[in-house]
Chain A
Amino acid sequence: MTDTFIIDIADLQKNYDGVEAVRGLNLQVPAGSICGFLGRNGAGKTTTIKILLGMARATSGQAHVFGLRTDLQESSVDIRRRTGFVSDDKDLYGYFTVDEMIRFTAAFFPRWRPDLEQRYRRSFGLPADRRIKALSRGTRTKLALLLALCRGAELLILDEPTSGLDPAMTEEVLQALVSHVAGEELTVFFSSHQIPEVDQIADRVAIIHAGRLVLSGALDDLRENFRRIQLVFDGDAPVALFRSPGVERMDRKGRELTVLSSAGAEGVVAEARALNPISVEVAPVTLKEIFLETVSKED
């Protein structure tokens, strides 16, 4: 366990009634990063988050947050004291008013930030006296975000923070998040299956598929390393075998051979020259393509 990793997960496994929700997950999230936790529905994102917060117990393996074990009652309480959380359902107490909900939450967190509370109350336009059950989903999301951001937390764990919101509201929530993170020293771990929003705010990404981590790293490194190399030949593209590391996929289609590499283009291009293509084009790959490629490879 390294102190610079706020989240450190090793060989985590979780079974629900014989179904493996998480299968040997290994993941580290460095301090100060904004880590997007990407995966399809049912990939194991929410289960992983619940284990981190002590809401579910791992079948095997271990998870640490701030170097504290998540499966011990006392350390789990300490983890939650230092963590802001927004759940997927944004479910709060319907019988409370907005004001009561804020006062209720503030009472649990000694480092509650009244300055941020006032700022977000204003900027989110939260109606103080309205009962939560009468709020729209968008307003409830904003309130849930306020309750997480004002805890004076060192870590924010957000489970699908923008699910169910329209694009304008999504943008508003993401902007609030980005500007908050810019002004505070904290780590953000947020799950999503919305690739554009991960692309927009994350500096790291971890892709989970069927309970396993299939890709993890700094987003800039992934963008730098993933390349699509398109080779065009005079006649039909040859059946080629590349020895360069990082070749994720090859597609032959008529005169074209497309290679997707996760370790830069140089090695593949050098090998491809020997095949005498009439053109070689190297293009960057979007996060969406990386995600789809990684996930489909595992299927």
Chain B
Amino acid sequence: MLWYKCWMETRWRFLIGLGLLMLAAAATVLAYPQIVKLLGLAPQIDLGGEIGRRVQEQVALAREYRGYVWSQWFRVSMLQMWVVFAVLLGTGGLLSQVSGGGTLFTLSLPATRNRLLGIRAATGLGELLVLTFVPSLLLPLFSPAVGQSYSVSDVLIHSACLFVAGSVFFSLAFLLSTIFSDVWRPIILALCVGALLALVESLVPDLSRYGLFRVISAESYFRGGALPWLGILSSAAVSVALLYSATRNIARQDF
């Protein structure tokens, strides 16, 4: 029944996320014919500098459908929206219920705090897993509608990288929710950390090869077929450490 309680607490965040991501996935695929038409104008664009280089890179990637899907979906739209929903699903829980959500009732039940927290984390991660795979699986499903095809195995590999590496944001929000009793500070802080990491990765190219977002988007797999194992394992270890810290925080907490 704790699963059901956690589901009831997070279902709207999850369902809204699922709906938005599915719409975005469909839009990404269906916009491809328009993108192809615009590619003809691309040689006339000469912005110069870093922005120009990026535009040219996008144009080059978009010439091939696989490149377009990766650069538009896995590297930008999905990644950004997914991080937001990972943070949203990670917030909440025992401490934030203190201000009105039956915390004392929950704590009066014969369940350890670790179990309460574990089920909360597992529910959130389960929802996140659905948010990761289901919208992206629409890509191969809708691609024939624009005369293209996209590999299901690519979807699965990119989604797995996104889920495992990106769970750091879920875990960070989860940990922050055991520190702050409101929902806003965990959300804002976790998103700020995400924005800061993205900024550093984009401004310091030397660092970007070790960057979290590079692992999340599985760039090495897209470009060379190599999975970013080190990045995946490192971020998974960070996630576990963050979740463990959350359980220690809650174990020490007085309600």
Contact = CB atoms under 8 A, between A and B. Distances in A.
Interface of A: 16, 50, 53-57, 73, 77-78, 80-81, 83, 85, 87, 89, 91-96, 100, 103-105, 107-109, 144, 147
A92 B255 contact: no
B111 A89 contact: no
B2 to A, nearest CB: 9
B104 A108 contact: no
Contacts, number: 68
Contact of A80 (B1, B9, B100, B110): B110
Contact of B110 (A16, A50, A77, A104): A77
Contact of A55 (B5, B107, B252): B107
B103 A91 contact: yes
Contact of B107 (A53, A78, A95, A107): A53
A93 B5 contact: yes
Q: Which 6 A-B pairs have the closest CB atoms?
A: A81-B110, A85-B108, A56-B254, A87-B104, A107-B1, A80-B110
B112 interface: yes
Given A87-B104, A93-B101, A93-B102, A56 B110 contact: no
A55 B255 CA distance: 6
Contacts of B145: none
Contacts of A80: 108-110
Interface in B51-107: 100-105, 107
B255 A104 contact: no
26 contacts: A50-B104, A50-B254, A53-B107, A55-B107, A55-B108, A56-B254, A56-B255, A73-B112, A73-B113, A77-B111, A80-B108, A80-B109, A85-B104, A85-B105, A85-B108, A87-B105, A91-B100, A91-B101, A91-B103, A91-B104, A93-B101, A95-B9, A96-B8, A108-B110, A109-B110, A144-B105
A85 B110 CA distance: 11
A108 B111 contact: yes
B8 A95 contact: yes
B53 to A, nearest CB: 50
Interface string B107-140: 1111111000000000000000000000000000
A57 B108 contact: no
Contact of A78 (B1, B100, B103, B110): B110
Contacts of B102: 91-94
Contacts of A144: 105
Contacts of A109: 110
Interface string B243-255: 0000000001011
Contact of B104 (A55, A77, A78, A95): A55
Contacts of A94: 100-102
B4 A104 contact: yes
Contacts of A81: 110
A87 B105 CA distance: 7
Contacts of A104: 1, 4-5
Contacts of B111: 77, 108
Nearest to A106: B1
Contacts of A53: 107-108
A55 B100 contact: no
Contacts of A16: 254
A248 B107 CA distance: 41
Contacts of B1: 103-104, 107-108
A107 B8 CA distance: 17
Nearest to B4: A104
A104 to B, nearest CB: 5
Contacts of B101: 91, 93-94
A190 to B, nearest CB: 14
Given A56-B255, A85-B108, 17 more contacts: A55-B108, A55-B255, A73-B113, A80-B108, A83-B108, A85-B105, A91-B102, A91-B104, A91-B105, A93-B5, A93-B8, A93-B101, A93-B102, A94-B101, A94-B102, A96-B8, A107-B1
Contact of B109 (A57, A73, A103, A108): A108
Interface string B3-15: 0110011000000
Contacts of A103: 1
A103 B1 CA distance: 9
A56 to B, nearest CB: 4
A78 B110 CA distance: 7
A277 to B, nearest CB: 54
Interface in B153-191: none
B104 A89 contact: yes
A241 to B, nearest CB: 47
A103 B254 CA distance: 28
Contacts of B112: 73, 77
